[in-house]
Structure 1
Amino acid sequence: MSLEPFGARLRRAMEDRGPLCVGIDPHASLLTQWGLSDDVAGLERFSMTVIEALADRVAVLKPQSAFFERFGSRGIAVLEKSVGVARAAGALVVMDAKRGDIGSTMAAYAETFLHKDAPLFSDALTVSPYLGYGSLKPAVELARESGAGLFVLALTSNPEGGEVQHAVRADGRNVGATMLGHLAAENAGETPLGSFGAVVGATLGDLSSYDLDINGPLLAPGIGAQGAAASDLAGVFGAAVRNVVPNVSRGVLRHGPGMIALRESADRFAEEIRAALASA
């Protein structure tokens, strides 16, 4: 049986736990900072600590697949375990893999992360549309079938993104706006929230020239270490701020390996975000 649509599950999690996504980013320097070895044992200890500390209290956990893949098959095994344990504890899992390809290859990526019986099945997947939005069709279709969601790169926080995302098409719209338009069409008529979201950086300043009302979630990296604050969200996202899922990684993870400190940091960010949204 398919799950309830991701958008509905995400809206409920955001209301119950607050709209916070915490990344699981076990890069080498952070493992060292935690006093862990840069190997599979350190990887597993890091991931399980974050999950034990946070999976019962934050809405979303977002493992970055690359930091697991670098250890080969044993790292993927840790990723598989992490996804299962986090979901069992009640967190929604967004797999940050940024996959993008065409035809049967895109279908295989979708099967890997979005098929309900796949070992790495996640509640949502980040994807890249820069082989053309239509190239994502296999992932869109399988996500609908399984009750999962997608987060499509639209207006990312890295400065290099502008050379693609701000490029102007023949119709006068830029590429980022075009992606937002596609997502609005995917989410049309869905309640309480569509399952097809966009990645939109919280560091981008005033985005009032874009229609961010896509009736879907907006995954917003940039809070914390990248310089954006919860108080910036309303100014960046305007009326769409209610659908924003701010992502914090280093801002929380740097407080490890102590679980109490991790929890306190996540709770602090969640409360700041709640307060900012309440005053928006």
Structure 2
Amino acid sequence: KINIAFFERYYADGLDAYFDLIQEADRAGLIVIGDCKRGDIGSTAEMYASAMLAEPDFANLEDLTGPDAITVNPYFGLDGLQPFIDVAREEQKGLFVLVRTSNPSAAELQTAKLESGMTVAEFVARQVENWAADPTLVGHSGYSAIGAVVGATAREEIATLRAMMPHCLFLVPGFGAQGGTASDIGACFKPDGTGALVTASRSVIYAFDDMKYVERFTSEWEKCIEQACKDFVAEVRNAVPK
């Protein structure tokens, strides 16, 4: 999962680096998620979908590939998401729609109660499941090209959201540096152990600043990151239903 903001900060050179990193990951056989959280009205959304998700259609960029999926913001409703859905369907790619995010102040909006008794996040989850259940988007695994972002820090809400979105893969941020733990994420998975992609960013990337790894590997930053990645994988594996 590559957060485009840290590349856009450096303007054209940063975007070059973003797409270079996607190419390198693709050559390594990795699935790439572009964390760009785009969303807008129809015509602008079409341009965002072309830029962020579609394969380039310019002759001089024919060897360039885009990410396999991106994150999108549902606040504009279906007409703001439809261009992204169309590209995902046409190019067999994926979307992860923000439903319950992992940042501390997310609850101010996302857990607010509506007249129906549902929270805002639950209402969005219901809409996302309706879009995801489109048979033209559901693959042989039973999961849709439309998934949902559900943060590991929303521990008390995860089970409800999982039940509401059976066709959605969950992209689960918030593990590690934001406070999410292995005990928080089990409900993101279905009983067969499928249904969630758990991510850790800062806790792995900056492991060379973590004394737990520094004491073991001193200045060998690559080994710090490698061990942090192994520890993360082991924690997630232990949380997956057997």
Please, which of 146, 153, 177 is the counterpart of residue 203 of structure 1? 153
Please, which of 226, 233, 238 is the counterpart of residue 263 of structure 1? 226
How far the C-alpha of 1:158 sits from its partner, in A, is 1.4
Counterpart in the other structure of 2:66: 121
How far the C-alpha of 1:237 sits from its partner, in A, is 3.2
How far the C-alpha of 1:243 sits from its partner, in A, is 0.9
* Deviation string, structure 1 residues 49-104 (Cα, Å, up to 9, x no partner): xxxxxxxxxxxxx1111111111111111111011111111111110111110111
Distance 1:214 1:179, change over 3 A: farther
TM-score normalised by L of structure 1: 0.71
Whole-angstrom CA distance in 2 between matches of 1:197 and 1:110: 16
Counterpart in the other structure of 1:102: 41
Distance 1:278 1:168, change over 3 A: closer
Please, which of 77, 88, 104 is the counterpart of residue 132 of structure 1? 77
Whole-angstrom CA distance in 2 between matches of 1:166 and 1:139: 26
The question of whether the paired residues in 2 share the 8 Å contact of 1:206 and 1:237 is answered with no
- Structure 2: tracts of 5 or more residues without a match: 58-63, 209-219
Of stretches 115-124 and 79-88 in structure 1, the one that deviates more from structure 2 is 115-124
Counterpart in the other structure of 2:166: 214
Please, which of 13, 18, 33 is the counterpart of residue 79 of structure 1? 18
Counterpart in the other structure of 1:251: 203
How far the C-alpha of 1:159 sits from its partner, in A, is 2.6
Distance 1:163 1:232, change over 3 A: closer
Of stretches 88-97 and 190-199 in structure 1, the one that deviates more from structure 2 is 190-199
Are positions 1:150 and 2:101 aligned together?
no
Q: Quick one: percent identity of the two aligned structures? A: 34
Whole-angstrom CA distance in 1 between matches of 2:164 and 2:106: 18
Counterpart in the other structure of 1:184: 129
Instruction: For 1:223, give the aligned amino acid.
Output: F
Please, which of 159, 166, 171 is the counterpart of residue 104 of structure 2? 159
Whole-angstrom CA distance in 2 between matches of 1:120 and 1:243: 26
Whole-angstrom CA distance in 2 between matches of 1:100 and 1:143: 14
How far the C-alpha of 1:172 sits from its partner, in A, is 4.0
Counterpart in the other structure of 2:217: none
Instruction: For 1:124, give the aligned amino acid.
Output: A
Are positions 1:237 and 2:188 aligned together?
yes
Whole-angstrom CA distance in 1 between matches of 2:73 and 2:36: 9
How far the C-alpha of 1:274 sits from its partner, in A, is 1.2
TM-score normalised by L of structure 2: 0.81
Whole-angstrom CA distance in 2 between matches of 1:145 and 1:220: 25
The question of whether the paired residues in 2 share the 8 Å contact of 1:187 and 1:214 is answered with no
SS at match of 1:154: strand
Whole-angstrom CA distance in 2 between matches of 1:183 and 1:92: 22
- Structure 1: tracts of 5 or more residues without a match: 1-61
* Pairs aligned (count): 217
How far the C-alpha of 1:238 sits from its partner, in A, is 6.5
SS at match of 2:35: strand
The question of whether the paired residues in 2 share the 8 Å contact of 1:203 and 1:227 is answered with yes
Name the structure, 1 or 2, with higher relative contact order (CA <8 Å, separation 6+). Answer: 1
